[in-house]
Amino acid sequence: MFYARSKELLAGVEEAEIEITSRSSAASGLLRVNAPVTFGIRHLAPLWGEFRTHYPKVSLDVTLADRVVDLVEEGYDVAIRIATLPSSTLISKRLTTTRMVLCASPQYLKARGVPRHPAELASHAVISYRYWSTKDEWYFDGPQGPVSVKTKPCLHTNNGDTCRAAALAHQGVILQPTFLVGDDLVAGTLVELMPEFHSLEMGIYAIYPTRKHVSPKVRALIDFLAEHFAQARASW
């Protein structure tokens, strides 16, 4: 009972602090951010310097992890999540979108042939991302409706960059987001397969705990990221 009551009191103090801080126009203080590993390295890490230039009174504590963190329990102010829908228990701002692309290297396709239908993937070398909720069964929306195929991966990994590296080394077919393989598709080092069979399109969200008052540092980061990705989207 004491613990529960103490949590209520501390929550009240925190809300009062946020309300007072939100009335100030200056963003300041420690800002704890969580983001997925690959997206955090490729698309967020280059932005932190610019953000700090705009908001020098904000100090950043950035953690990269592909697991879904509990913002409240783990003390994060903001998290970047890539999902079809954001959590209904949190406030979210969609920054941009990303499309899952089926692709492989030209050398691999020359050696193994170009699959024309998802069913053919069952006989191809596949590099699988371990955190897919559907595991090794891949789903597509084709001209004739939904299609699924049970793949037989030659490599499982919990990291998208590892999937990409294996595909660039001509080891097989991957299903990865455009924010990761977009440059490779433009360069021709990877080739999109079966574009008429669509996989997921997901939102990239900035999420933060449900609160009545958003602190200036959180609002500053969300607005900064939203503006950046609105301009960068065309390159994906």
- Give how far Cα 207 sits from Cα of 12, 18, 39, Å: 21, 17, 15
Residue 181 in tokens: 């393989």
- Domains of the chain (ranges plus CATH)? 2-96+202-235 (3.40.190.10), 98-201 (3.40.190.290)
According to DSSP, the β-strands at 201-209 and 90-104 are: antiparallel
Smallest CA-to-CA distance from 140 within 92, 210, 192, 78 is with: 192
Tokens of 104: 């492989």
Sign for the CA dihedral angle at 23, 28, 31, 37 comes to positive
Residue-wise pLDDT for 136-167, tens only, equals 899 999 999 999 999 999 999 989 999 999 99
Residue-level pLDDT, tens digit, the chain, 236 residues: 888 778 777 766 666 565 555 555 689 999 999 999 999 999 999 999 999 999 999 999 999 988 888 888 888 999 999 988 766 678 889 999 999 999 999 999 999 999 999 999 999 999 998 877 667 899 999 999 999 999 999 999 989 999 999 999 999 999 999 999 999 999 999 999 999 999 989 999 999 987 667 899 999 999 999 999 988 755 56
| 21: Cβ contacts below 8 Å, ≥ 6 apart | 29, 213, 215, 216
| Residue showing tokens 């228990």 | 89
The tokens describing 158, both together, are 């919990």
- pLDDT score of 132: 73
